[in-house]
Amino acid sequence: MLDSPGRNVKADVFDRVQSLVGTLAEIFWKEIIVAAGESPHQQYVGAAVNGHENAKSVTAAVNRLVNGSVHEDLSQLSVRLRHAVLRLRGHPRLLPYWDFDEIAVGSHQLAALDVYEYLHDVLAWQEQTRDLRGLWMIARSAGWFVPHEHVCWISERPSRLLTDVGGRLHCHDGPAISYPDGWCAHVWKGVQVPAWVIEYPEAITLWRIADTFDAQVRNCMIEIMTPERFVKEGGAAKVCEDEIGILWRKLWGHRGVTIGSWTAVEVVNGTPEPDGSRKHYFLRVPSRMRSAREAVACYGLASEQYAGLVQRT
């Protein structure tokens, strides 16, 4: 059976069904609004939709990570081997290396079905939403699934899933996402980083930061290391200093060509702490900044206004 799974049927079992029920739901709500002015359940559905949007932002982040991992793992196979497998299977779409979303249903898509389940359970709209009941059952216990005519691959849900307040995958002391089979990923504010960066932050050094090609990962390493330590250890050079603060910059290059940069403005809190000390803050700014005064303007305040809140001592 695995040698002949048949064609992919995502369009038949998910896309078309969801589209049909969604069209009926739009007609249904329009009729209610026209007849009653405002549905007594409308506020609940609105709240449900807003809730789903938040859930979808998290699940979409998970899906991008898993999808990227799938592509990365598959890309490690030689082109010749991939082509051989495709010929053996006889189904060009069986191993869709570059269009995984087109044949698979992600958890963010399953989460969107909850609105229709509300119509089914609360508003007794059973007949119109009946075709979605099987998908609800999958959504309650599964994540990704890839339906074919004879075989359907279904993944488990993550056993661990942590995010920050913005809905980005994030964990400061371990994997942000992991699955029961042991697969996991370490993520810092939405950026996947090597496991050691999270597990052993004390191992982050200026050399390791400079040796990292990915700019996003470099920035995460600096943030975990803390900008204070990065600057103190000589990671960045002082560009200028004025009454607002100090502008720091680090440029990475290869053979005279700049391949990355980090720029931040250091300011001091104008309000002292209970012990009389003042906190220092490092604010990331665009690399085109030439002074601390110009840099703080990036945060929506004129430098004169900003000086009243954060100032040098």
Over residues 176-194, mean pLDDT:
91
**Can you tell me the mean pLDDT for 40-46?**
48
pLDDT at position 72 = 56
Strands of the chain (E only): list them: 142-147, 152-156, 160-161, 177-178, 184-185, 187-188, 191-192, 237-241, 246-254, 257-268, 280-284
Query: Does residue 51 register a pLDDT over 70?
Result: no
Q: Determine contact, residues 260/254, Cβ cutoff 8 Å.
A: no
Q: Mean per-residue pLDDT for 229-246?
A: 92
pLDDT, residue 186, reads 95
Residues 76-131: tens digit of each pLDDT: 434 434 444 444 444 443 333 335 667 888 776 777 677 777 777 776 777 777 77
Sorting pLDDT into bands at 50, 70 and 90, what band is 61?
low
d(CA 284, CA 247): 10
What's the whole-number average pLDDT of the chain? 75
Tell which wins on pLDDT, 80 or 206.
206
Of residues 133 and 220, more confidence is placed in: 220
Is residue 296's pLDDT more than 60? yes
What's the pTM?
0.65
Contact 177, 186 (CB under 8 A): no
According to the model, what pLDDT value does residue 118 have?
A: 73
How would residue 299 be classed by pLDDT, with cut points 50, 70 and 90?
Answer: low
Tell how far CA 264 is from the center of its chain.
Answer: 24
Q: Which of 155, 133, 135, 158 is nearest to 145 (CA)?
A: 155
| Predicted pLDDT of residue 302 | 54
pLDDT for residue 201: 95
pLDDT digits over 156-168, tens only?
A: 888 888 888 887 8
Q: In whole angstroms, give the CA distance from residue 246 to residue 235.
A: 15
Contact 39, 29 (CB under 8 A): yes
Q: Decide if pLDDT at 133 tops 60.
A: yes
Q: In what order do the strands lie in the sheet with 177-178?
A: 160-161, 177-178, 184-185
Residues 178 and 159: their CA atoms lie apart, in Å, by 6
pLDDT value for 191: 92
What pLDDT is recorded for position 62? Answer: 63
Q: Residue 8: how many CA atoms within 13 Å on its side-chain side?
A: 20
Question: Of 32-41, 213-222, 236-245, which range is least confident?
Answer: 32-41
* Res. 203 pLDDT band, cuts 50 70 90: very high
- Residue type for position 65: L
What is the share, in percent, of the chain residues with pLDDT greater than 70? 67
